[in-house]
Chains A and B, each alone.
Chain A
Amino acid sequence: MFDTKAYTPEQVAGMLQLSKNTVYDLMRRGEIVGKRIGKVYRIPARSLSFMFTGLDADLYEAEQEDMKQVPAIQRELARVRMKKAVKV
């Protein structure tokens, strides 16, 4: 999801409703990670993970990792809780 797309600072400024200068400032401070290619900058979508998901990219990926197992876990948990409810 995050590996293929990249945006210009102008595009990111539009998405975040910031000025272009603020985006360049955020890149200088490392809050948005961009890459200089020749004379232009490109910002990988991964750097903007928080905007899309509410999570930094590493936490988003960690959550997705858990989500592979969560449905099976919740099925078993529901069975155990139902068994307990029957006893009550």
Chain B
Amino acid sequence: MSTLPCAFLDSDVVISSLLSSRGAARVLIDAGAVDRWVSSSSVRELEDVVDRMVIERTKLHHTLRRCHVASLIEDEATLVRTHARYVSDEGDAHVVAGVVEAHAQYLITYNLKHFYRDRIKADFDILVMTPALFLQYLRSVCP
């Protein structure tokens, strides 16, 4: 079993990594010592977002090859019902479901205000943070 820090990437982080080669999201995708995760539900929404933003899907799939994919077998309605208490917007509930399914220790997102961080930490022991703060944290524990 891997002992690398296990981080689930919200879709805004994955898309950021596609748009800038110098951004923190890209640095996180390229970082060696991290287990990166997305979910099957994230993959579907990522494909929709790249189409809407006119980003090549091949670029997305190339980046996703650096991530593990957690399979969410429940339907969207179930995901919302079971995880809505962790988010201010029900549309984000599947992200929390993905983090839990991936057994990740960190949820990396630029959308901090949509996640009830204290509740997520209390119930799942998962920390929610931005890519740069996560990278800073990695530096502090592995200088």
Contact = CB atoms under 8 A, between A and B. Distances in A.
Whether A and B are associated in the same complex: the answer reads yes
Contacts of B80: 85, 88
Contacts of B111: 74
A76 B89 contact: no
Interface residues of B, number: 34
A80 interface: yes
Interface string A56-88: 100111110111111011101111111111011
A47 to B, nearest CB: 15
B66 to A, nearest CB: 17
Interface in B64-101: 75-77, 80, 89-92
Interface stretch (B22-30, B32-40, B117-125): B22-30
A87 B23 CA distance: 34
Interface of B: 11-12, 15-16, 19-20, 22-27, 45, 48-49, 52-53, 75-77, 80, 89-92, 110-111, 130-133, 135-136, 139
Interface residues of A, number: 30
A70 B16 contact: yes
Contacts of B49: 73, 76-77, 80
Which of A77, A78, A87 has the most chain B CB atoms closer than 10 A to its own CB? A77
B20 A66 contact: yes
